[in-house]
Chains A and B, each alone.
Chain A
Amino acid sequence: MPSSPRIGVITYPGSQDDRDAVWALAALGADAVAVWHEESNLSGLDAVVVPGGFSYGDYLRCGAIASFSPATAAACDFAREGGYVLGICNGFQILCEAGLLPGTLMRNASLRFVCRDTPLSVERSDLPFTSRCSPRQRLVIPVKHGDGRYVPPADLDPEQIVLRYLDNPNGSVDAIAGVCNEAGNVMGLMPHPEHAVDPLLGSDHGAFILASLIDAARDRSLTAA
């Protein structure tokens, strides 16, 4: 029987999708654990998920305050050592503010909160987060955010674009829905894969992303063991 990789999901004050992420990862076979935001020791984890919500009230800019919490700093160290870190929605905003991912996320061009299923195109299927996807696969995963307009730095390498919207719901530059760092071990996306792991919820396409991460985390734990 394959082992269950241990994946930590950070809970900040104001996180709201942390428990869904733990549930979804566990449903897909991971040993998923909640990690409190004051925790600065992430040893024993095979991957880290930074979940959605409104960390620390999202005051000033989304993710700005969470970007230097102890658990985020530990996640940055974990990533620098090659660990896999996935940021979802607010988690994506936090990883951008922390400098682990390029660019930033701003108010939706419509100034409206969007909450609906969005079709996506997989631009990179060779990453620890997308290995279960086929090239250009179409995924349907819900978004729910008011600040999801991705603004890349001028020098963004197109190779870092992992997902694109097929119906850009927020005005993101080049319809970018998800990006990775240069090394490919950190990814952020605005859609919520943890809300789409069971057909009863309308789509199970989120499992392509989360199960890819679980595969990669398992390989990493076996290599380290």
Chain B
Amino acid sequence: MRATILVRPKPGILDPQGEAVGSALGHLGFAVKDARVGKVIDLDVEATDATEAKATVEKMCEQLLANPLIESYEVEIAQ
């Protein structure tokens, strides 16, 4: 089962990478008010159904994939 995890810097956490990207887009002429850069993690997970897969991936996020102090995460499961 395919799982996609979006990891984002939490609001209020300084994201210099996002600032640099936003500034670069501004230099290219795009009107960007705010940019934040996170990461995407794609996994192929063994699970019997989507509920089980989501529960397993959320455990992975808590233990390793995201740092709850600075990052939030969202899990999407595709069959």
Contact = CB atoms under 8 A, between A and B. Distances in A.
B70 interface: yes
B15 to A, nearest CB: 9
Nearest to B39: A60
A57 interface: no
Give chain B's interface residue range (CB within 8 Å of chain A). Answer: 10 to 19
B70 A106 contact: yes
A104 interface: yes
**Chain A interface secondary structure, helix, strand, loop or mixed?**
loop
A103 interface: yes
Interface residues of A, number: 16
A110 B16 contact: yes
Contacts of A151: 13, 69-70
Contacts of A153: 69
A42 interface: no
A107 B70 CA distance: 12
A225 B14 CA distance: 49
Interface in A128-178: 149, 151, 153, 171
